[in-house]
Chains A and B, each alone.
Chain A
Amino acid sequence: MVHLTDAEKALVSGLWGKVNADAVGAEALGRLMVVYPWTQRFFEHFGDLSSASAVMSNAQVKAHGKKVIHSFADGLKHLDNLKGTFSSLSELHCDKLHVDPENFRLLGNMIIIVLSHDLGKDFTPSAQAAFQKVVAGVANALAHKYH
């Protein structure tokens, strides 16, 4: 369960409204694969990931980043029930995709860095703290059904 104060909830939705979610998703997934190249293990079928520019301009990376961020955005609307919201995605990531939950934490931190990059000064320490709670909650929810 994430516990955000009303002020934190307002910070999160206010700032989320200012960014282009699709672009955030693409950038976060791209940076994940550039900064932590071993995460490419899940995406060998994506084609050319041989350099930072190849990754960042890869159409499949962008499409998948968009998909991922849409789920994340859904989570933002259900902060009081993240485990329920991500229940079937959790099963999928365990049973079919076999993704180590550590990757959810890495991606969450990439989302934070991309938000900081996009929002600059507006991404204050308090804003970051609120979003860190959110990404931690989403990561835990996605790991919840693992067995």
Chain B
Amino acid sequence: MSLLKNERAIIMSMWDKMASQAEAIGTETLERLFSSYPQTKTYFPHFDLHHGSQQLRAHGSKILAAVGDAVKNIDNLASAMTKLSELHAYILRVDPVNFKLLSHCLLVTLAARFPAEFTPEVHEAWDKFLSILSSVLTEKYR
């Protein structure tokens, strides 16, 4: 699966709208993840997961910043994301199933915050992009 030209354009244009709300989007995504899929909290026993916690906001920011990096390097994801890929494979070892859950929660957040922009075409492009990004991040698992 690789992105088509028009999908790349859609992804970058949507990111431009997301960038200024990156922390809020990232935080909301995580809150949705932990509410809908409580088992994902097992990766964060050391975190204060209450609504509005500083750790939640910082981590949400971090995740969205990484998504932003991926968008900026959309033509060479595998090499641009090498460090993160290694981090997830050797240190974090988050079970691959969780990437789908996080991606879904990000899409739900985008749908809620950008009703006009989140058309079926944008939805498709971002679902595909997040799926490809997830593959890159789990590439070195074994």
Q: Which residues of A contact B (CB under 8 A)?
A: 30-31, 34-35, 52, 55-56, 109, 112-114, 116-121, 123, 125-126, 128-129, 132
**Can you report 13 residue pairs joining A to B where beta carbons are below 8 Å apart?**
A30-B120, A31-B120, A34-B120, A34-B124, A52-B120, A55-B120, A113-B107, A113-B108, A113-B123, A123-B108, A123-B112, A125-B31, A128-B108
With both chains docked as a complex, state the minimum distance between the C-beta of A129 and any C-beta of chain B, in angstroms: 4
Q: In the complex, which residues of chain A have a beta carbon less than 8 angstroms from the beta carbon of B121?
A: 34, 52
New contact pairs (18) apart from A109-B104, A126-B35, A128-B108, CB-CB < 8 Å = A34-B121, A34-B123, A34-B124, A35-B120, A35-B123, A35-B124, A52-B124, A113-B107, A116-B112, A117-B112, A117-B115, A119-B112, A125-B32, A125-B36, A128-B35, A128-B36, A132-B36, A132-B37
In the complex, what residues of B have CB within 8 A of residue A118's CB? 115
In the complex, residue of chain B having the shortest beta-carbon distance to the beta carbon of A33: B120
For window 109-128 of B, CB contacts with A under 8 Å fall at: 109, 111-113, 115, 118-121, 123-124, 127
Interface residues of B in 30-46 (CB under 8 A from A): 31-32, 34-37
B7 to chain A, nearest CB (A): 12
The majority secondary structure among interface residues of chain B is helix
Q: How many A-B residue pairs have CB under 8 A?
A: 58
Count of B residues near A, CB < 8 Å? 23
Chain B residues close to A by CB (< 8 Å): 28, 31-32, 34-37, 104-105, 107-109, 111-113, 115, 118-121, 123-124, 127
